[in-house]
Amino acid sequence: SITAGGWLGIAMPKAHGGSGLGVTEAALMMRRITQSGGGFTAASSVHINIFGPHPIVKFGSAEQQARMLPPLIRGDDRTCFGVTEPNAGLDTGAIETRAEWDGSHYVVHGQKHWTSAAQRANKIMLLARTAPRDASEKGTDGLSLFYTDLDRAHVEIHEIAKMGRKAVDSNALFIDGLKIPREDMIGEEGQGFHCILQGLNPERILIGAEAIGLGRAALAKATQYARERHVFGRPIGQNQSIQHPLAEAWAELEAANLMLFKAARLYDAGEPCGAEANAGKYLAADAAHKACERAVLTLGGMGYARE
Ligand SMILES: Cc1cc2nc3c(=O)[nH]c(=O)nc-3n(C[C@H](O)[C@H](O)[C@H](O)COP(=O)(O)OP(=O)(O)OC[C@H]3O[C@@H](n4cnc5c(N)ncnc54)[C@H](O)[C@@H]3O)c2cc1C
């Protein structure tokens, strides 16, 4: 339904079938998805399609945008995002997957880890090394970004068993001789890290907004239960020890929401928003966790029931 309604193109240019709106509107949408009760399961299956292709919007040529964006918006193409590797998580500059130019193509060898949604993706946004790490001062130089076919003849995909978030698969990818044409490189060679950074701040903002929606859904459930559940002859919500923890969680949630939407406004205005996006996600995650925990406690034993 999200695809059929055109929502995947919310932050993509109108010229290519998108809505031409900003990260602010995308964050509102994602907040609504979790707030509806869908939680992170619902949000996770949507959000990679919103922030993942953002480097194409920011750095893709006119030809690349016209070729790559419409099938993504229509849902004909499904992408995954290959950055993390077994030996490189937070330290992105340490990635070892290499793309070597053979005169007609880049040829990729290496491994990716935790690649979400690869089971059903036919495209990958792939970060690979095109120059050795020690060739420049900054470890994050010499990385290049590609948006290309996930050709299973050259990529083995193994699902990682997880404890939760099962609606979206996570995978280990083994890449052996994947050929990528030059026209699938996004941005300049060696500047791939700077290109993905453009997708990371929107990702932080969207995930933070999703956390807010989740926290709001939890508080809505808890406050309703507190009104309806009678113990010792009156609603439990008449006790301040039920009210105050929920009120505190609400205040923290709404404060985090303000920080997140400040970050979104800055991003949409083309201004630096790294500090606000990071702070917003940090505050929102904590506030949502607290809201959920307090909601579970408010429900007493029923807080532990699947229902
Ligand atoms: C469900 C799920 C989906 C994911 N989807 C994708 C995806 O689609 N594409 C993709 O590329 N990646 C994906 N990831 C990977 C995710 O981005 C990485 O897990 C993350 O970047 C952290 O890397 P790491 O797990 O290797 O942790 P590490 O880098 O090994 O860090 C381990 C721990 O050490 C801490 N740490 C590291 N360095 C320092 C330091 N200097 N000071 C203090 N603490 C430090 C970290 O905070 C962490 O707690 C996904 C992960 C999960 C769990």
Q: Is 82 in the pocket of ligand 1 (CB under 6 A)?
A: yes
Indicate whether residue 207 lines ligand 1 (CB < 6 A). Answer: no
Q: What is the mean pLDDT of residues 44-54?
A: 86
84 lines ligand 1 (CB under 6 A): yes
pLDDT digits (tens, 9 = 90+) for 92-111: 999 999 999 999 999 999 99
| pLDDT, tens digit, 9 for 90 and up, residues 125-149 | 999 999 998 888 888 899 999 999 9
Residue 91 Cα, ligand 1 centroid: separation in angstroms? Answer: 9
Longest CA–CA span in the chain (Å) reads 81
Assess whether the region 79-190 and the region 195-304 belong to the same CATH fold.
no
Tell me the CA–centroid distance for residue 277 and ligand 1, in Å: 18
How far is residue 95's CA from residue 256's CA, in Å, rounded to a whole number? 33
The proportion of the chain whose per-residue pLDDT surpasses 90, expressed as a percent, equals: 87
d(CA 307, CA 302): 8
Between residues 242 and 196, which one has the greater pLDDT?
242
Please name the residues in contact with 106: beta carbons below 8 A apart, sequence gap of 6 or more: 99, 100, 128, 130, 144, 146, 179, 180, 181, 182, 185
Fold of 79-190: Butyryl-CoA Dehydrogenase, subunit A; domain 2 (2.40.110)
Nearest to 216 by CA among 68, 37, 24: 37
Q: What is the CATH number of domain 195-304?
A: 1.20.140.10
Helix, strand, coil percent content, the chain, rounded in steps of 5: 55, 20, 30
Whole-number pLDDT of residue 200: 86
The percent of residues in the chain predicted with pLDDT above 70, rounded, is: 100
Nearest to 177 by CA among 117, 141, 128: 128
Of all protein residues, the one whose alpha carbon is nearest to atom 37 of ligand 1 is 90
Ranges of H-type helices in 120-239: 192-228
What are the boundaries of each domain within the chain?
A: 7-74, 79-190, 195-304
Of the CA atoms within 13 Å of residue 280, those in its CB half-sphere come to 29
Q: Is 165 in the pocket of ligand 1 (CB under 6 A)?
A: yes
